[in-house]
Amino acid sequence: MQHLAKIFSGTGSQYLAEKIAQQFGHPTGKITITRFSDGEIQPIFNESIRGDMVFLVQSTCAPAENLLELLLMIDAARRASAYKVVAVLPYYGYARQDRKDKPRVAIGSKLIANMLVSAGADRVITMDLHAPQIQGYFDIPVDHLDSSAIFIPYIEALPIQNLTFAAPDVGSANRIREIASYFNAEMVICDKHRKRANEIASMVVIGDVTDKDIVLIDDICDTGGTLAKAAGLLKEKGARTVRALCTHPVLSGKAYENIENSVLEELVVCDTIPLKRPSPKIKVLSVAELFAVAIRNAHENRSITGLFIHSQLKDKR
């Protein structure tokens, strides 16, 4: 028996869910998110989902409100007798709290995983987790999509010659190395030291960037401080151009000012999070088609391996 696939959206990702549904070939389902006068959230499905495979699209930004809304949507779907409930989180908030890196702190990403499973999610589809090991926090299947499938065609179309990739920190070196290998290009590392969150104490460049066209790649752009500092340092070291590609445009605090006042040629981001305002230096690429394919394959019990860079590397070789 083939269960119908229905895509619903929370209020935080309506713009993206509609694009995903359009790529999927069906409109988004009918749901109302009401709020009591004190702010209490109540989702109501306005159509039957009994026996259906339900995909709930909601990025957790701003984290608390959108996360709670998603949890209530999952619970409502379970109570409405959905066959399967799939939480589609283009941006998974709290992923930066993935370990106890100092005494007496929470492991927020594990807590969020527990909450999604407890609410009744049967599967999670997300993109570019801050730490890939977060997949192991779940006891349900996790489809972890890679923005490289979107960024690689964009990079291939860039009018540059001396392409070199830069990792904004040591932790992202493995991911950048894989992309550099795809292009048979060199890579460098911007090693940073923080005194506290969102504040960089020092940064050094490991590798030669003289006369190179640098592409910085990261999963999150929050305040933009790291990218602005890294771009300035790379230019000081002799780079010809510097641009950045970041999956999730959190862009909080003075992020827009930091990016616009930096030496970056451009910042290319995905639409996993809506921009707060347009910027002449920020370009947005859509993840809608990639998520639509992942949703279709999940619905039809087909593999999503072909969506990943390692599959493209294998084909290229």
d(CA 105, CA 118) in angstroms, rounded, equals: 22
**What gap in Å lies between CA 203 and CA 192, rounded to an integer?**
4
**In one letter, which amino acid is 280?**
P
What's the CA gap between 216 and 213, in Å, rounded?
10
- CA–CA distance, 132 with 33 (Å, rounded to integer): 32
Q: Could you tell me the strand order of the sheet in which 53-57 lies?
A: 5-9, 53-57, 84-89, 123-127, 142-145
Residues belonging to the active site: 192
Distance of CA 54 to the CA centre of its chain: 21
The DSSP output letter for 133 is: G
Nearest to 9 by CA among 300, 291, 301: 291
Task: Name 136's Cβ contacts closer than 8 Å, sequence gap at least 6.
Answer: none
Report the chain's terminal Cα–Cα distance, integer Å: 40
CA 136 to chain CA centroid, Å, is 17
CA distance 252 to 257: 10
Contacts of 8 (CB under 8 A, 6+ apart): 17, 28, 29, 31, 45, 54, 55, 56, 57, 73, 77
State the Cα–Cα distance between residues 289 and 269, nearest whole angstrom: 15
